[in-house]
Amino acid sequence: MKLIVKKEASLLDYLYENLDMPKKRIKQYLTHGSIFINNNKILKYDYKLYPGMTIIIDTNVKNKKTLPFDVIYEDDHIIVVNKPSGLLTIATNKEKEKTLYHIVREYLKATNPYQKIFIIHRLDKDTSGLIMFAKDEKTKNLFQKNWNEYVTLREYVAVVHGVLKDKVGKIEQNLLETKTNLTYVSKNKEGKKAITNYKVLKENKDYSLLDISLETGRKNQIRVAFSSIKHYLVGDKKYGLKDNKERLYLHANRLKIYHPYLKKEILFETAIPNEFKVIMKGR
């Protein structure tokens, strides 16, 4: 099924208006990676459409035995996937099914109806990249109990506004959280310590591409760190500028773990998202 966009709109609204199809079915096609815009797989309901864009709905792809994103690694105990931006890790009061947890669980249950999965760690809804789930409760408990020993590397790539004076740096802060769940920097050393290391990989007159590694894992740590030094993450609608970008330019691209059953370290890696490369070319 193919459509040429005639007017500016959000994706879900446009499809509902122009297709003789229930909104629930359109959401299912989005969730299972069946909708492509200009040949790019799109999962976001509110993806911005402009006249001239091409929408293709592949009705054969809606199959729980496939995923709308990459499986980086899988064995009897863990599964590591590449989460897209705009997808919740776990359910909230407002959203139960359009979550990474639900999609991965249904994918595994298509092969084994009794398979369970367990949350080990999370990424923000707007952050893309590597997430690991456990396939049994014992594995989940092992990783959560020994997180600092078992997870030896967590690296991200990000694009921020502006050119950083220091090309290599460390941002050390204490973070607190408001009643409305916003994280902010404490001025009197209260709160949880957060340490964020960075290195500039590439820059142009408007943006800098950064390699970021964490010594701590606090809520919204990277976003708050760079907001506090006025180099806001591109596309950050919560702590950043109104720059009209469709996604947050933050991606968890490297994760190294000690595998407690294989008794060895494993490094998982993903490529830098194409959007990051495009913006750094100034296009």
- Is residue 168 within 8 A of residue 199, CB to CB? The reply is yes
Q: Determine which one of 75, 124, 166, 206 is catalytic.
A: 124
- Residue 15: name the closest of 64, 56, 69 by CA: 56
Residues 6+ apart with CB under 8 A from 221: 175, 183, 194, 196, 214
Q: What's the angle, vertex CA 89, arms to CA 84 and CA 92, rounded to 5?
A: 130
Residue 177: CB partners within 8 Å, gap ≥ 6? Answer: 183, 184, 219
Q: Does the annotation mark 124 as catalytic?
A: yes
Report the alpha-carbon distance of residue 219 to residue 239 in Å, rounded: 12
**Taking the alpha carbons of 145, 155, 252, 165 in that order, is the dihedral positive or negative?**
positive
**Do 165 and 190 form a contact (C-beta atoms < 8 A)?**
no
How far is residue 70 from each of residues 13, 104, 114, 251, 276, measured CA to CA in Å?
27, 11, 23, 14, 18
Write out the two tokens for 267: 């490094």
Nearest-angstrom CA–CA distance, 94 and 90: 11
The residues assigned a catalytic role are: 124
